[in-house]
């Protein structure tokens, strides 16, 4: 790519080459830390036949569930379907192919993809339907062989990012985003605050900018709390 800078003006510019049929990792746990602007842009572009790779594929009609409602997702890789009636419905109707992956294996497969690990053994899932057809091996306990998980694109969101793509995440909003950034060919980060180099101290960088190809400042964040529960109420 000829661009000397990673900084894009907005989601429309940053997602210019998002086309039908791509695999797409999307950060967030439930609706916490989801890339709201990039998801809205994908909905607007109307690209179809996407393979979405995200822990929950949205929740309760929000987040990636918007793309499910638009019938833009044909395959989903995730660990949890509960709380996402759109996905459950389309899965049971065979409209979306769903690959369920245990959450720790899901995270580690993306980490492995980014870190150059070709495969790994984990006890997770041994003796369950998840292990069917997979190689197993006995260590101190029986384990299942798992392979890296990659994608064409990752869309992630951080609280703060600099022009090199160094990111700082707030509280539990980090979740899968750094792993997805490592595992994807092109990572597009949106941030609430885009700052100059040096404004995030090196020690405070959660994801080094080398894993981020494009960055833009998002707008109009909803930051939905799915289940607000208050002390003493």
How do strand 184-195 and strand 151-162 relate by DSSP bridges? parallel
Site for other proteins in 174-233 (CB under 8 A): 174-179, 206, 223-232
Place of tokens 């790519």: 1
H-run or E-run covering 26: strand 23-26
Least Å distance, CB 91 to other proteins, is 7
In the bound state with other proteins, the residue whose beta carbon lies nearer, of 70 and 159, is 159
Q: How many CB atoms lie within 10 A of CB 14?
A: 25
Dist. CA 175–CA 29, nearest whole Å: 6
Give the distance, in angstroms, between the CA of residue 231 and the centroid of all CA atoms in the same chain.
Answer: 31
Q: How many residues bind other proteins (CB under 8 A)?
A: 59
In the bound state with other proteins, the residue whose beta carbon lies nearer, of 21 and 104, is 104
Between 120 and 159, how does the x/- string for binding to other proteins read (CB under 8 A)?
--xxxxxxxxx----------x-----------------x
Dist. CA 109–CA 93, nearest whole Å: 28
Applying CB under 8 A, which of residues 73, 78, 184, 186 lies at the interface with other proteins? 78
Q: How many CB atoms lie within 10 A of CB 99?
A: 13
Stretch that binds other proteins, among 37-45, 61-69, 145-153, 168-176 (CB under 8 A): 168-176
Least Å distance, CB 106 to other proteins, is 8
**Joined tokens for residue 72:** 């833009």
Contacting positions for other proteins (CB under 8 A) = 29-33, 55, 59, 78-83, 88, 91-92, 100, 102-108, 110-111, 122-130, 141, 159, 169-179, 206, 223-232
């Amino acid at each position: 790519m000829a661009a000397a800078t990673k900084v894009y003006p907005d989601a429309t510019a940053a997602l210019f080459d998002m086309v039908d049929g791509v695999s797409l990792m999307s950060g967030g746990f439930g609706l916490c830390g989801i890339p709201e602007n990039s998801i809205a842009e994908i909905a607007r572009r109307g690209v179809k036949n996407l393979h979405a790779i995200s822990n929950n594929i949205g929740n309760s009609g929000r987040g990636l569930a918007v793309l499910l409602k638009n019938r833009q997702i044909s395959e989903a890789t995730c660990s949890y379907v509960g709380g996402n009636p759109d996905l459950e419905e389309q899965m049971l109707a065979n409209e979306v192919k769903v690959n369920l992956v245990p959450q720790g294996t899901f995270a580690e497969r993306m980490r492995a993809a980014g870190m150059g690990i070709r495969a790994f053994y984990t006890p997770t899932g041994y003796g369950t339907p998840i292990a069917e057809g997979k190689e197993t091996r006995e260590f101190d306990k029986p384990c299942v062989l798992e392979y890296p998980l990659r994608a064409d694109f990752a869309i992630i969101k951080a609280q703060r990012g600099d022009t090199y793509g160094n990111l700082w995440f707030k509280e539990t909003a980090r979740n899968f985003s750094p792993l997805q950034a490592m595992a994807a060919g092109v990572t597009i980060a949106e941030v609430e605050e885009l700052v100059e180099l040096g404004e995030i101290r090196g020690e405070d960088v959660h994801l080094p900018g080398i894993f981020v190809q494009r960055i833009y400042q998002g707008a109009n964040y909803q930051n939905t709390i799915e289940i607000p529960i208050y002390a003493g109420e």
